[in-house]
Structure 1
């Protein structure tokens, strides 16, 4: 899609370039190799593991929240903050889950605590794990 020398996707590339700003195009191009989809089944499994560890309500920060499958499967009583660097994906997430706070920024650049105190859980599903209230829960 983003390889200007590849004619196979020239029409689709032209359509997207017409829809997106230069900043949005650059962001999508930059993240295409590192954006990963997390299935709803996997997200449900993480929530089940958190519940078994004693976490059922509270504040959850999700770095790299994507389109929001963790947000969409969150149990009642969970306040979600998603951080997503890719602006189109962040917009989709905010439209799908208006009850959540979605930040369009790099997690590395997030310099404000989204909650009054520390988050009770931080989801990180890519090579890192999931942390709950100071103890590690493998997921």
Structure 2
């Protein structure tokens, strides 16, 4: 049996959890990641994400900062406090690209902070970068 396509890297089939209360942002991130070959699970808020995280076992999480009830900082901190997911990279999304958002995200345990609206290449580059260390 010959291989007609190159072998896929482990990160190609990695599950990514996208948490965003904006349907537009959520579907944009989901489309970009699915087209790149990732499995994607979406959540509309932090509570839904926390309910889904054990089932999907994400290799990486993309989380909006500004969400009602449980914001991205608290969601990230709760994920990072979990023994099962403390090493899972979390990419925060912010409509405001300020130093304060990045610093607060880092304090919550985020690996990086990306600007919204999401640029396809910026998202994919950040995902590849943070998954590379996760699978080595």
Give me the TM-score of the superposition, normalised by structure 1: 0.40
Q: Which one has a bigger Cα radius of gyration? A: 1
Name the structure where helix makes up a greater proportion of residues: 2
Higher relative contact order (CA 8 A, sep 6+): 2
* TM, length-normalised to structure 2: 0.40
